Structure 1
Amino acid sequence: MSSTPVPLQAAVQRSWEASRFLFTGLLLGLATYVLTFLVVVVLIFAVLVIGLPALPEATKLLRGLAESERRRVAARLGVPYRPARYLPLDTGELSERVRRVLTDPATWRDVLWLPFQAVVGGAAAYLAMVLWPVGLLVDGIALPAAHLLDRRAADEYGTPPPVRRGWVLRWLPVLADLSASWNRSILNPPVPAGLEERIAQLTESRAGAVEAHGAELRRIERDLHDGAQARIVALSLRIGLAKQLLDRDPAAARDRLDEAQDGADAALAELRHVVRGIHPPVLTDRGLAGAVRALAADVAVPVEAGLDGMEDGRRLPAAIEAAAYFVVAEALTNISKHSGATAATVRISRGAGTLRVRIGDDGHGGADERAGSGLVGIRRRVAALDGTTRISSPVGGPTDIEVELPCGS
């Protein structure tokens, strides 16, 4: 905390903030006495079966009290609040809810915390009550005197006065921090190194996957509405008109039927296009190697495809194949439209449980993910499968996209 020109005032302020935490812990400790008794009674009656319906309800009270302590401790220590991941108790049969209570690790941590808070929380608050009168007596006399001597020494020698936090009252914040740390160690399981960063990465990739999924659904809806649906409506109108003309003008009715057949063929083509955007049939029929070769053959830029060992052994999981296919398709589309390249390469290999996809071109480079070039979609699609994407595209070229996907083989 920041220092203040009046040491006694600063020490009292810090000690009062710590004491509020400790005295609140005392009230919480009294509540844990009652709740501990309630839990014991419920468990005894649960053994006799008649108390089983009360067990989930008592557990909810315990969870609410423990969650309030988690928030209080996080605020005291200045750390992020992490709610416990409890098994749900609001759904299922009574036997299933009782099983969740008895097998939930987070609930057992709460049960372990109850007697700890009842004893240690109360003891810390009582110790604070003892320290206050002693601290006000000792620090109330010593701190102002020391402050006066420090000011005189500073004026005489030109040195800044030291920051003094008292001799007795300074231990109240330490006591509050210790109490908070102990409670946190019981209520919150330790997080392995790197796990929080990993959780943040997965949360971000999940959000990206949800957003990409929503965009894909909107694209499919738009393609169906503007393409196949419009053609099917026109087809229905032509068939209806042909039925009206059938008796009085068979030749005109035949013309309308010919137009309807052309419309049906066009609607089928639109539907095939939509289906290819969801899961290309060529991927199912010919596998990833054959599908990539088909993509390379359809691009205006000459593409050299290297598919080391991709046609040997068993097929990759469908989701991995689809992701790799769409990465290559999007990258080759970008090369054709934006790169100005005269040649491109696609390299796909698998090994050590990883599928590696690398696409490069000799174009002018300068690809920017923020410019809507499809690179963001590639990154999100790969991240949704716990893969990694590396993009290098300096101005002047070349551009390289390297993707790694876990394939479990």
Structure 2
Amino acid sequence: MTAPHHGQLPWPRPVRAIVFLIASFPIRLGQFVAVVVLTLVGIATTVVWIGVPILMVITALVRYLGDRERQWIRTMLGAPLPPAVRSPESGGHVRRWRVRLTDPSTWRDLGYLLLAFPLGVLGLVVGLVGIVLVPVGIWVAPGLAWLHGRMAMGLLGPDESRRLAAQAERLQASRARGVDAAENERRRIERDLHDGAQQRLVSLAMNLGMARSKMTSDPAAAGELVADAHADAKTAVTELRDLARGIYPAVLADRGLDAAVSSLAASCPAPVDVDVEPEVVTPRPPSAVETCAYFLVGEALTNVAKHAAATRARVHARREGDTVIVEVTDDGVGGARLRGGSGLSGLADRAAAIEGTVTVHSPSGGPTVIRAVLPCVW
């Protein structure tokens, strides 16, 4: 199932809605009893200080149950519920508890847990009746499940101002890393030009100058110098071509992502299956998206060749709504990480600059899955 866009909730199918309503009731009952009973006990015993640790536990429990509810609603109803944006915590237990108490997300979680129980009672009745009465199962149960999902999105979803603030903070951090990466790339290009093509061209000019001076006095030596100059010229052209390919590959500009990824796969020592779905290349996404996807595949396949000890890899690019999703999978030894300063970390920064994300799942022993979600508008 394609993930819905932010703010959209798909209409549940009848069977899934009935299963959700019935299966949710014992969860709602247990959560409601635990939260209410522990809260009342904690408040009643605060005069003898026993209630303070109880209230600290219930605060942590509310946040934990809220996170589990987000996962449950995402799984059963397909609701676009991202992880909660929490206030940063530091210091001792009391200070962290104070932060949690003043965090709006804690109270939104609590409000949801309290409201979900009466709605869960109604949902249980409707779900059981829907098994027997077809009209209730087809129309009423999905509607009630959808209403529950909307309530979850309203209370468990991110506060819009905090979400935008967190997004701005991430963009600012990624922009700073992008500036550093661009400066490092500029220095690399300058170094490659100085140590590579520039030295070749200097050597070429010197050889041609000496060949010119020996043209009449020593034609054989002049011929050798011209041959050396010719070799330096070819080497300089090759180095300049490689340098340009590292900046923006010609095959990507000329033939698109499918051909560019296929050329990367052909140079990988391990067999690579390439599956670029037609919707990704026709029409073509913006160049920034294509470039990010290309270098992600290139870095991932480089890791396959150098570190993974893989026998096979797969590249899959597809379109989901207004996003391009690129996944590179290999059956190697695993252990890949988004470490600071690594090639994958740099690609994550490149993706963040266009509000994309890069994730790496690579347990010890494999397999490794590197996934990029790149938003774009065709």
TM-score by length of 2: 0.56
Q: Secondary structure at the match of 1:291?
A: helix
Q: Secondary structure at the match of 1:305?
A: strand
1:283-362 to 2 correspondence within 5 Å? Answer: 283-310=252-279, 313-362=282-331
Structure 2: distance between partners of 1:360 and 1:348 = 11
Structure 2: distance between partners of 1:389 and 1:291 = 20
1:1-400 to 2 correspondence within 5 Å? Answer: 192-310=161-279, 313-370=282-339, 373-400=342-369
User: Aligned-pair distance for 1:199?
Assistant: 1.2
TM-score by length of 1: 0.52
Q: Is the CA contact (8 Å cut-off) linking 2:323 and 2:376 kept in structure 1?
A: yes
User: Aligned-pair distance for 1:381?
Assistant: 1.2
Aligned residues with identical type, % of pairs: 47
Q: Secondary structure at the match of 1:350?
A: strand
User: 1:135-187 CA distances to partner (integer Å, 9 max, x unpaired)?
Assistant: xxxxxxxxxxxxxxxxxxxxxxxxxxxxxxxxxxxxxxxxxxxxxxxxxxxxx
Equivalent residue, structure 1, for 2:377: 408
More displaced, 367-376 or 221-230? 367-376
User: Aligned-pair distance for 1:274?
Assistant: 0.5
User: Aligned-pair distance for 1:368?
Assistant: 2.8
Equivalent residue, structure 2, for 1:7: none
Question: Structure 1: any 5+ residue segments left out of the alignment?
Answer: 1-190
- Read off the aligned partner of 1:240 and give its amino acid letter: G
Q: Secondary structure at the match of 2:276?
A: strand
- Read off the aligned partner of 2:274 and give its amino acid letter: A
Q: Secondary structure at the match of 1:192?
A: helix
Instruction: Evaluate the alpha carbon distance shift between residue 381 and residue 312 of structure 1 in structure 2; reply closer, same or farther with a 3 A threshold.
Output: closer
Equivalent residue, structure 2, for 1:122: none
Q: Secondary structure at the match of 1:206?
A: helix
Q: Is the CA contact (8 Å cut-off) linking 2:280 and 2:319 kept in structure 1?
A: no
Q: Is the CA contact (8 Å cut-off) linking 1:310 and 1:348 kept in structure 2?
A: no
RMSD (Å) for aligned C-alpha atoms: 1.7
Structure 2: distance between partners of 1:368 and 1:314 = 33
Q: Is the CA contact (8 Å cut-off) linking 1:341 and 1:362 kept in structure 2?
A: yes
Structure 2: distance between partners of 1:373 and 1:342 = 23
- Read off the aligned partner of 2:187 and give its amino acid letter: R
Structure 1: distance between partners of 2:279 and 2:233 = 38
Question: Structure 2: any 5+ residue segments left out of the alignment?
Answer: 1-159
Q: Is the CA contact (8 Å cut-off) linking 2:280 and 2:317 kept in structure 1?
A: no
User: 1:31-70 CA distances to partner (integer Å, 9 max, x unpaired)?
Assistant: xxxxxxxxxxxxxxxxxxxxxxxxxxxxxxxxxxxxxxxx
User: Aligned-pair distance for 1:369?
Assistant: 2.9
- Read off the aligned partner of 1:216 and give its amino acid letter: E
User: Aligned-pair distance for 1:312?
Assistant: 5.2
Larger radius of gyration: 1
Instruction: Evaluate the alpha carbon distance shift between residue 270 and residue 250 of structure 1 in structure 2; reply closer, same or farther with a 3 A threshold.
Output: same
User: 1:315-342 CA distances to partner (integer Å, 9 max, x unpaired)?
Assistant: 2211111111111101100110011111
Equivalent residue, structure 1, for 2:10: none
Structure 1: distance between partners of 2:330 and 2:175 = 30
- Read off the aligned partner of 1:342 and give its amino acid letter: T
User: 1:84-115 CA distances to partner (integer Å, 9 max, x unpaired)?
Assistant: xxxxxxxxxxxxxxxxxxxxxxxxxxxxxxxx
Q: Report runs of 4+ in structure 1 exceeding 6 Å deviation.
A: none
- Read off the aligned partner of 2:245 and give its amino acid letter: R
More displaced, 274-283 or 205-214? 205-214
Q: Is the CA contact (8 Å cut-off) linking 1:367 and 1:373 kept in structure 2?
A: no
User: Aligned-pair distance for 1:390?
Assistant: 1.2
Equivalent residue, structure 1, for 2:132: none
